[in-house]
Amino acid sequence: MDNMTDEQIIDQVRQGHSDAYRVLVERHKNYIYTLIYRMVGHKETAEDLTQEVFVKLFRSLSLFRGEAKFTTWLYRMTTNLVTDYQRSQKRKPIEALLDKMKGWFTNTREQPEEVALLKEEQEQMQALLAQLPDKYKLIMYLFHYKQLSYQEMAEITGLPVKTLETRLYRGKALLKEKWLEVNAHEIQTSGRHSAHAIPK
């Protein structure tokens, strides 16, 4: 069953094979948890919402018609559920937002020595990303961290491609503006390029 496609496993679930659903969960639970954690920033909350996603998935499989990839359908269900959760919560303090950005935009292809040298820059960038408005964070995560296309992001978020392009552009502009604010003194006193790279 592990060699089956998602769609084939879903057919097995619909035929009453309970083991098939467990295979589907095992195949996707890690990414769903990671996606939710990036959005909410709290381990326990992410775990609870991940369970909720898969309960909702089980109840909603009959609605899946194969018009989009199963993963796209599942990710959109996940982001919608988390968005609803966030709307029900009060705005979280900056400490929680900083925690939620850990691990974003890290280039895992770097050698260990290079990663160590970039640690300070990464931590500063993550802190600045945490200060961006919520509507930019998910888009930048999907585009830069997951490297999804605009079309894939549109299918997941339900937003038009033009809106995604605008939010990505504005998110990058805000990020650069915040970086310049933080590093203005260093730039003025050094008279040369600092060790930090201005975001492109």
Q: Which helix (H) or strand (E) holds 184?
A: helix 161-190
Would the pLDDT of 199 be above 90? no
CB 176 within 8 A of CB 198: yes
Supply the pTM of this predicted model: 0.50
Q: Where are the beta strands (DSSP E) in 24-178?
A: none
| Residues 171, 128: Cα–Cα separation, whole Å | 11
| pLDDT for the residue numbered 99 | 47
User: Looking at residues 135-163, what average pLDDT do you find?
Assistant: 83
Tell me the per-residue pLDDT of 1-51, one tens digit each, with 9 for 90 and over.
667 888 888 888 888 777 888 888 899 999 999 888 888 877 888 889 999
CB 99 within 8 A of CB 41: yes
